[in-house]
Amino acid sequence: MSAVVPIKGATQFTINLDPGVWIFDKRKIDLDTYIRTGEAKQVPEREISGSYAIPFEPFLNHAEPLPGANKVVCHLKNSQPVVLSLAEAKKCYLAFALNGKPLTEDGPLHLYFGPGRHQDEPLKNIVCFEVKE
């Protein structure tokens, strides 16, 4: 499975997400806290031994969805695609590390829905995000 996941479709720009570089990103949050409480608790950039996620919204915004775009299709390796509204997708977090290690087996990232929604069942094996009208 590729370590890079694109955001493509009804966007001004195609963005390639590379979770391998997020470990030092200042936007990363503690995944365990998020799953337990729904709180997006940021952690120090240099902390690298925990389980982490990063907000999906900045990446979607950077791709610049076209004016009519209103949904994000999550294409999965061995499953049917999952469709989210664009607004719902912007509330999601992308997990990229578990106990300080990259998500290699069913990654490279997992999508966690907004607080209170299926925190124990993230989307896994994501190969592409497609923004659609």
DSSP per-residue letters across 55-80: ESHHHHHHH-B-TT--EEEEEESSS-
Residue 30 neighbours by CB under 8 Å, 6+ apart: 41, 42, 43, 50, 51, 52
pTM value?
0.94
Q: 72 forms bridges with which residues in the sheet? A: 84, 131
Q: Are strands 93-98 and 52-55 parallel, antiparallel or unpaired?
A: antiparallel
- Amino acid 95: pLDDT: 96
pLDDT at residue 1, as a whole number = 53
Best CATH choice for the domain 5-132 from the list 1.20.1260.10, 3.20.20.140, 3.90.420.10, 3.30.70.260: 3.90.420.10
Q: Residue 69 in contact with residue 53, Cβ under 8 Å?
A: no
Low-confidence ranges of the chain (pLDDT < 50): none
Mean pLDDT of the chain: 92
Per-residue pLDDT, 131? 98
Q: Which pLDDT score, from 0 to 100, does residue 45 have?
A: 83
pLDDT at residue 118 in the model: 64
